[in-house]
Amino acid sequence: MCYRFASVGARIGIFGGSFNPPHVAHQLACAYVLATARPRLDRLWMVPTWKHPFDKQLAPYADRLAMCERAARPFGDRVVVSRIEEELGAESGASYTLRTVKALRAQHPGVELAMVIGADLVAERERWHGWPELKTLIEFIVVGRGGYPEVAATELMLPSVSSTEVRARLGRGEPVDALLDADVIDYIRTHQLYGVRP
């Protein structure tokens, strides 16, 4: 489904990240904010990063996009994967949240946007590019994450699953069945990502 179709007056959550790869805690965050955010979210857009601003090594964008699409499938049309950072990256390179938010606001006038982030990112926000302007442009919905109880906005704590841990396990040939959607695992194996061998 194309993320461009959002009716005027809709409230959309933007859930950005490297998604390298997307794991079950990402999916649980989607389910949680769709169920509990007030005012309610009509839809959630997963926005995979085009290029990390600090040159963090990522799997190819096309692969991360495809894995996000598989992780979003259980939610039907309520979670849609956005290619906005690919569009912007073709012009300017690195991904910046401020640039993404401005572009989405311009593309979707009359749509209310909210940014979904994990509690682990709250302390980092002030170091983000253009933070003084960004905080005036969009509301933040904070989802609790294990290890960060002091900044959790809710009582929910997502499992302490990280993409770093998933990649390490994959590289060592250890099972990740409890950490990744089955379709995401199939994609990783088929495309031999993160050191996985056939």
What percent of the chain is modeled with pLDDT above 90?
74
CB atoms within 10 A of CB 10: 15
Tokens in use for 102? 């401005």
Two structure tokens written together for 37: 């955010």
pLDDT of the residue at 170: 97
Percent above pLDDT 70 for the chain: 89
Q: Rounded CA gap, 190 and 93, in Å?
A: 28
178 within a domain of the structure (yes/no):
yes
The C-alpha R_g of the chain, in whole angstroms, comes to 16
What 3-state DSSP class applies to 80? strand
- The residues that bridge with 14 in the sheet, in sequence order, are 45, 115
| C-alpha pair distances (Å), 167 with each of 134, 182, 193 | 31, 15, 9
Q: Round the average pLDDT of the chain to a whole number and report it.
A: 90
| Integer Cα distance of 137 and 75 in angstroms | 27
CA–CA–CA angle 28, 34, 39 (5° rounding)? 145
- Cα distances (angstroms) measured from residue 43 to each of 71, 96, 97, 157: 15, 22, 19, 22
**Residue 72 pLDDT grade (very low, low, confident, very high; cuts 50, 70, 90):** very high
182 pLDDT exceeds 90? yes
In a domain, 24, yes or no: yes
Task: Supply the pLDDT for residue 168.
Answer: 96
Task: Write the pLDDT tens digit of every residue in 79-125.
Answer: 999 999 999 986 666 778 999 999 999 999 999 999 999 888 888 89
Question: Residue 2 falls within a domain, yes or no?
Answer: no
What is the total count of domains within the chain?
1
The pLDDT value given to residue 2: 44
In a domain, residue 129? The reply is yes
CA distance 58 to 53: 11
In a domain? residue 40: yes
- Which residues constitute the domain of residue 33? 11-191
pTM comes to 0.91
Residue 131's CATH number: 3.40.50.620
Q: By the 8 A CB rule, do 7 and 43 touch?
A: no
Residue 65 lies in a domain: yes
